[in-house]
Amino acid sequence: MPDSSSSQRMAGQVCIVTGAASGIGRAIARTLAAQGATVVVADVTTEVIEGGAPTAEVIAAEGGRAVFIATDVARTEQVDALVDQAVARFGRLDVLVNNACIRHARPLLELEEADWLRVLDVNLGGVYRCCRAAVRQMLRQAPVDEVRGRIVNLSSQHGLIAAPGDLAYGTSKAGTAYLTRQVAADYAAQQIVCNAVAPGKIQTGAGGRAIDPVVMERAERRTPWPRLGRPDDVARAVLFLASSEARFITGTELMVDGGWMAA
């Protein structure tokens, strides 16, 4: 449950979170809303993988403000419409969180070209499309506390080291980390902030490969912290980078991995 007892760090801000129906994106959306943001929940579905009511409904029940806009980040027209609708309804866009992604875990020789292209189109192409639409809007806005808008992209430790048997996913996350740095450098002079959060092994409630015994054993062995990550761990890191507390920080990739990459 997001903590709304502290001062509302995101009061009055409008945030889009992609892939917010389930897992990490759902936790990010709830956390931003609990801190006072108006949240646009963007996803291809309202169905919650781990179970429960749709994210926008949960946020409303918790006293927050959220709307759902059906969005496929692989479709340019849907991404552009997402930003246009958010701004038409709420007046501006302060924060974009690019969380939407898919996986198709295969090594090189077992990865069909269509599947390779699909993963890149959603995971990296989606970040490109959403960043482009958001930056276009943010450039039209007057700065607030020196910033026109903030972008937080979800990368991964598997953009820095191999994701065993998962070539497309790791490549897409490496590209996301690079795109983050490039956008940050290109638009810093226009007062647009762009950072990334790189989760380690996060237990989201998803099944399949996420809880495969081999995957779990490797994650537990590689993570120095005495537990694996939770969606809320990532959400709190995103909150920091989305807030005005993260002053003079742009182009960085914040590891939220329990020390995986330090060991």
Per residue in 25-37, pLDDT (tens digit) is: 999 999 999 999 9
Using 70 as the pLDDT threshold, list the residues of the chain that sit under it.
1-6
How do beta strands 38-43 and 14-18 pair? parallel
> pLDDT value at position 4?
47
Is 169 designated active site? yes
> pLDDT at position 69, please?
98
Q: What's the Cα-to-Cα distance from 110 to each of 78, 92, 113, 167, 170, rounded to whole Å?
A: 31, 44, 10, 10, 15
Q: Residue 240 is inside which H or E element, if any?
A: helix 231-242
The pLDDT of residue 5 is 47
User: With contact defined as beta carbons under 8 Å apart, do 158 and 176 qualify?
Assistant: no
pTM above 0.75, yes or no: yes
14-262 maps to CATH 3.40.50.720: yes
- Give me the pLDDT at residue 78, please: 98
Active site residue: 128, 169, 178, 187, which one?
169
Dihedral (C-alpha) 85, 89, 95, 96: value to the nearest 10 degrees? -20
Residue 132's φ and ψ, nearest 5 degrees, are -60, -45
Q: How far apart are the first and last CA of the chain?
A: 30
Q: What is the pLDDT of residues 68-102, one digit of tens each?
A: 999 999 999 999 999 999 999 999 999 999 999 99
Predicted pLDDT at 3? 56
Beta bridge partners of 70: 43
Say what the pLDDT of residue 122 is.
98
